[in-house]
Structure 1
Amino acid sequence: MEKAIIYVISDSVGETAEFVTKAALSQFMNENDYEIYRIPYVENTEVLRGAVYHAKQLGAMIGFTLVNPLFRNFLLEEAANKKVECVDIMGPMLQAMERKYHKKPIQKPGLIHKLDEDYFRKVEAIEFAVRFDDGRDPRGVDQADIVLIGVSRTSKTPLSQYLAHKQLKVANIPIVPEVEPPSSLFEIPSHKCIGLRISPEKLNDIRKERLKSLGLDDQAIYANMSRIEAELDYFDSIIHQLGCPVIDVSNKAVEETANIVLSMINQPYWDLHGNQVNE
């Protein structure tokens, strides 16, 4: 038995048409019994005319996703004239949605792939934030769009995750007096780094609550005011060396801090790669 041949035609990549075609074919035959010829990025009717001609010669059928109604109508008419089986995979759905929502489709190919690209960039940013959280791998400093620094309990991790959902690759570095920050922190452009400052009193409250939630004594050194003040003094000394912008997070929700970060990085005088931009 000769293999079944199906032409898949699209004014974009053609993945949707091929996926639907394969799903339907699976109800009739296995993968060894058919071949799919994909014709993507159709830009004129001559390509469609040629596809119908070859389909006729090979006894093939056609499945297509064309958002341009002129292309859809031309292909259907040409296939009907040549008596080639031709299936409009997307057209009926577009027409139904046009009736339902009382609006015209944009008629721009490839929009779903743009959404997919945005999705994968977001996933990549989230994975980056997890990998380079809390200074566990200092190599993230060089690769990040933004580096957050601050003492413990200044919301570095949740802020990194929130910004990752905005497709930003964020690394965060804890500032601890006994531990030298990675040398790469002092080599990146200063505006790529953002310090998170907090008042001693607020930090004391947060750390006490954290210790209680862990079933520990809230008088531990972690929540001791002298220790907190020493950590914040060290933080200020690092900020002074870096010359980077600072956000006071004492009374701010993560979302509020994130919006400030986003507004800072969107200022016209610098970009995420440290390139100076004319005001």
Structure 2
Amino acid sequence: MNPDDALAERFEEQRAHLRSVAYRMLGSLSEAEDAVQETWFRLGRTDVSDVANLSGWLTTVTGRVCLDMLRARRARREELGDERLPDPIVAHDPEREVLVADQVGIALMVVMETLAPVERLAFVLHDMFAVPFDEIAAVIDRTPAATRQIASRARRRVKESAPAADPDLDRQRRAVEAFLAAAREGDLEGLVAILDPDVVLRVDTGAGGALRVVRGARNIAGQALMFRRIAGDIQTIVVNGGIGALNVTGGSAQSLMAVTVVNGRITTLDIIADPERLKDLGV
């Protein structure tokens, strides 16, 4: 095997890992693929014969690529004012399931979207992939001590805003099914009982502009009752490692809901209601 083929083989061995890094950094499946491809291009332009840890080198390069993409995206969104929920990963796709093997839920991804690019990089690389601070510091041009502080600040914000979901899928499923049953039956009090008092609903319609956000159990229960006529067409599925729901009409997905359940109650509902986007995502 010639050296180029050997290097390509080693890169392919790391591709799934690099996509996991890029997805957590970007929250977009297509952009994650772009970032991994750019990492491959950079590998081809670099002499790595003296690199002892190629996996670590590729991870930090992918992080640097994603950092540049995040900065460009933030500037673009500030100019255009559009928002979108992160791309969901549905369990019917084994290749994509590996991206969220440790249950990186949509609610957590939404919180990570609020972090500054360098905060997200430090948090993802260190807390999710155990990259040492001195290696991250070289990517963001900070000292290791400053990088540690950046990661700590990001970790604190994530912990405050994204409580850990119940890891038991059966308990999650019971909560989601109770919510759907109460919606079908028009049971307002039943809906309120399964919702956390501070529950947040976010809806991405794909029309551009800001996400529609509703807060509070009674407000969201009222919204659910408005759509109870279609609740019978909704089935539970696994979204980003947790139980969610898919609304299908005429064989086409109309909306996908990711749900976070904490202590038996629903704390977040994140809905993508753009059929074209769902189609592009393979849902």
Shorter-chain TM range is: under 0.3
Structure showing greater radius of gyration is 1
Greater RCO, 1 or 2 (C-alpha within 8 Å, sep 6+): 2
TM-score for both structures, normalised by structure 2: 0.23
The structure with more helix, counted as a fraction of residues: 2
